[in-house]
Amino acid sequence: MNPQLVTDILTAVRTSTRLPQPRRSTVRVWSLSGVERLTFPDGTTAIYKYAAEPFTTEHQVLRAAAGAAIPVPAVIGALVRDGVLGMVLEDLGKTAREANDEDGIIAAIALHHATIDPMLAELDYEALAVLPVLARGHLYRLRANGRWTADTDDIAGMLDALTAGAAKRAAGATTEPWGWVHSEFHPTSLHIGTTGWRLLDFARAFTGPGLLDLVSWHGTIDAPDPARLHHHIEKYIADGGHRDALADRGGLAAPDWALGWHRVWVVEWFMEQALRWINDPSQDQVYIDVVRQHLTTAVRHLKP
């Protein structure tokens, strides 16, 4: 990402919001985005977050979330220029503690009861069922470019199996909870401060099955644990979440359905990154290993 462009966008946002020249300090930088803390002459602070496509609508999503009474950091100002978003956000300060499972349930309930915003893309039955097809297309194009050609026949085979079973297994996609899906719903995306909680990182939010957030809370590094997820959903229902959250869908128990489709969703995103957004052949083996791991989980739980 062009550092001068990032600076120019900040200058434009600062000028439009009448903010003074700040001191900038890097908080974290990823391949497609970065976060800085801005310190102004009077000692007040703000957060500057910048991101390249496909993350250039987060300011709109954050404002929509705030309008739906979802606790999020306030957007002070934002601008998209030459395919890069820069936005100045409220600085929430240091966390009081790490988010726990109960915090995640409270946040999930707030998300799932919020009014759906028409600007969000929908992951309904048809969109869910086509995910394996999209992933298979990514693989085809990677191979056409001379990439992912060695030892990926098992990946192609698992995608073919998931494609064949998708029409049946995607059933129940719009069963409650249905609505806001954060999509990066992890403890690190939930800021617990002295005055309450806020959700961060809404760049890929959409309207879809709320179970995808509940299953993502525990991450994808450890082995899937359907019993733990079942207990988590039970607690979600007991605390005021939608009572149909444990209903069977697609001929499967809710935990299996959620684990399987969440991993398919992750796979399609990782493969699109490898092909389009990151497009770094030197990282192919890393992506292949992750895709293989998640496809194995998806096949195990969706039983196509």
Question: For the residues 181-204, what does the mean pLDDT come to?
Answer: 94
pLDDT for residue 221 is more than 90? no
CB 198 within 8 A of CB 267: no
Over residues 28-54, the mean pLDDT reads 94
**Of the listed ranges 120-124, 191-195, 211-215, 242-246, the one predicted with least confidence:** 191-195
Short-list 241, 224, 237, 220, CA closest to 289: 220
Domains of the chain: 3-90 (3.30.200.20), 101-302 (3.90.1200.10)
Q: Is 270 a residue whose pLDDT tops 90?
A: yes
Whether the per-residue pLDDT at 277 is higher than 90: the answer is: no
Distances (CA, A) of 155 to 218, 267, 282: 25, 10, 19
Six-digit token pair at 215?
A: 């299953």
State the Cα–Cα distance between residues 111 and 257, nearest whole angstrom. Answer: 20
Q: What is the chain's mean pLDDT, rounded?
A: 95
Residue 71's nearest CA partner among 60, 80, 79, 62 is 62
- Quick one: pLDDT band at residue 93, thresholds 50, 70, 90? very high
Q: What length does the chain have?
A: 304
Q: What is the pLDDT of residue 222?
A: 85
pLDDT at 61: 96
pLDDT value at residue 269: 95
Please enumerate in sequence order all residues whose Cβ is within 8 A of that of 34, keeping only pairs 6 or more positions apart, or say none.
Answer: 1, 6, 26, 28, 49, 50, 51
pLDDT tops 90 at residue 262? yes
Instruction: Specify the pLDDT at position 23.
Output: 96
Please, which pLDDT band fits residue 80 given cuts at 50, 70 and 90?
A: very high
Q: How confident is the model at residue 45 (pLDDT cuts 50, 70, 90)?
A: very high
Stretch 184-192: mean pLDDT? 95
Averaged pLDDT, 56-85: 96
Over the stretch 127-159, which tens digit does the pLDDT of each residue have? 999 999 999 999 999 999 999 999 999 999 999
Query: Is the predicted pLDDT of residue 4 greater than 90, yes or no?
Result: yes
Average pLDDT on 30-58 reads 94
Please compute the mean of the pLDDT values over residues 226-230 and round it to a whole number. 96
Residue 9 has pLDDT above 90, yes or no: yes
Q: What pLDDT is stored for residue 30 in this prediction? A: 86
Angle, CA 268 vertex, CA 266 and CA 271 arms, to 5°: 105
Q: Encoding tokens for residue 181?
A: 């899906």
Return the amino acid letter for 298.
A
